[in-house]
Amino acid sequence: MRQRATDRASKNRTSETRESRLDEVFFALSHTSRRRLLARLGELGDQSVAPLARPLHESPAQITKHLAILERAGLITRRIEGREHRVHLEPRGMRSALDWVGRHREFWSASVDRLEQFLDSPEEGK
């Protein structure tokens, strides 16, 4: 009996951790500048912070905060080479968000299809 309670508690912590990671990913993606940083990394590959951030026209402090949020969400990693901080895109960081969107996409696609059928039905015109 005690083992089952321990197993349930462990599963709850795992679920909470997954939910927390998902929240961090969606929060990170919620800001235009952070999405632009990710897009630039996707286009250009690993970059140092200054050239990566240059087109955003934001202060170094703002860029540092954006990068910290992206890093905490697991979307990027940073490594220090001398005085230069190199930023690397971590595609695996999007996995939780992609899984969540995939599960909900099936539901909403089916719901929209049913609504479309209902609206196209002859009885709807009466």
Residue 37's CATH number? 1.10.10.10
Look up residue 60 and give its DSSP letter: H
C-alpha torsion 5→10→16→17, nearest 10 = 170
Q: Indicate the range of 62-71, 99-108, 117-126 predicted with least confidence.
A: 117-126
Give residue 108's domain range: 2-125
Residue-wise pLDDT tens digits, 12-44: 555 557 678 899 999 999 999 999 999 999 999
Which one of 3-7, 62-66, 122-126 scores highest in mean pLDDT?
62-66
Residue where the block lists tokens 């209902």 = 118
CB atoms within 10 A of CB 87: 22
pLDDT tens per residue, range 45-85: 999 999 999 999 999 999 999 999 999 999 999 999 999 99
Cβ atoms of 69 and 23 closer than 8 Å: no
Query: 124 or 22: whose pLDDT is higher?
Result: 22
Token reading at 26:
């969606």
Mean pLDDT of 94-111: 85
Number of structural domains, the chain? 1
- How high is the pLDDT of residue 70? 97
pLDDT at 45: 94
Please state whether the predicted TM-score (pTM) of the whole model is above 0.75: no
**Quick one: pLDDT at residue 99?**
87
